[in-house]
Structure 1
Amino acid sequence: MSAEEVEEVIPVLRVRDVAAAGRWYARLGFVQQWEHRFEPGLPVFTEVARGRVRLYLSEHEGDARPDTLVYLRVTDLDEVAAEFGVRAEEAPWGRELELRDPDGNRLRVGPVAA
């Protein structure tokens, strides 16, 4: 593997409305990278990114199950908490908070490991 090649995992989350989900994920600092649909009126598949962190959001029913859990480590945990009006809670392993997107997918958010 060359220095330019980086292996990665990109979670796929099932959403009913990519536009609504995109607005919600934008509050977390994600920006839509691209969008694909086979033809007008068919389900949308898109990528959102926050720096090097990427998620796929899919309107396709068979791509993922609702109520998925993704753990996201961020450098701005307190700002994320403020944006969503929640508090980060102390857990034995560190501070974190949990959010649910409009489709019920869970995001557990914690600080970048020191």
Structure 2
Amino acid sequence: MKEQAIPILRVADAAVSVRWYTRLGFAQEWEHRFEPGFPAFVDIARGDVHLFLSEHTGDATPDTLVYLRVADVDAVAREFGLPVEEAPWAREVHLTDPDGNRLRVGTAREE
């Protein structure tokens, strides 16, 4: 088993969030509910990168910041209609999901 850290993001409506994260290249892997009508807990993945989206109120707080390193930040910038910012360590865009979670998406600079 490969070890990894998976951030958990609090969301109000997992289905809405899954659609938004699809624009970033994520796809839903699975969804769990203890019973029908209960809050959803969803795993989304972009290659080997996973995020958990949780409707459970105690799992996380809105306004979390996640850094996502990608191969092509320009494609993400085009998808969201944003300019790419130049930082000494990477080229980046800053996004906010429908629930107020913040994502800094960047491509590392070539050395």
Q: TM-score, with normalisation over the residues of structure 2? A: 0.95
- The list of structure 1 runs, each at least 4 consecutive aligned residues, that deviate by more than 2 angstroms after superposition, is none
| CA-CA distance at 1:94 after TM superposition | 2.3
RMSD: 1.1
Query: Secondary structure in 2 aligned to 1:98?
Result: strand
| Aligned residue type for 2:64 | T
Please point out which of 13, 16, 19 is paired with 2:12. Answer: 16
Distance 1:46 1:113 in 2: 32
Distance 2:27 2:108 in 1: 20
Which structure 2 residue ranges, 5 or more long, are not aligned?
A: none
What residue is the counterpart of 1:38 in the other structure?
A: 34
Distance 1:94 1:112 in 2: 4
Distance 2:3 2:29 in 1: 19
Query: Secondary structure in 2 aligned to 1:108?
Result: strand
Distance 1:60 1:112 in 2: 34
Which structure 1 residue ranges, 5 or more long, are not aligned?
A: none
Q: TM-score, with normalisation over the residues of structure 1? A: 0.93
What residue is the counterpart of 2:77 in the other structure?
A: 81
| CA-CA distance at 1:78 after TM superposition | 0.4
Please point out which of 24, 45, 51 is paired with 1:55. Answer: 51
Query: Secondary structure in 1 aligned to 2:45?
Result: strand
Identity of aligned pairs, percent? 65
Query: Secondary structure in 1 aligned to 2:103?
Result: strand
Q: How many pairs were matched up?
A: 110
Distance 2:50 2:71 in 1: 16
Q: Does structure 1 conserve the Cα–Cα contact (< 8 Å) formed by 2:90 and 2:108? A: no
Deviations 1:3-39 (A, max 9, x none): xx22100000000000000000000000000000011
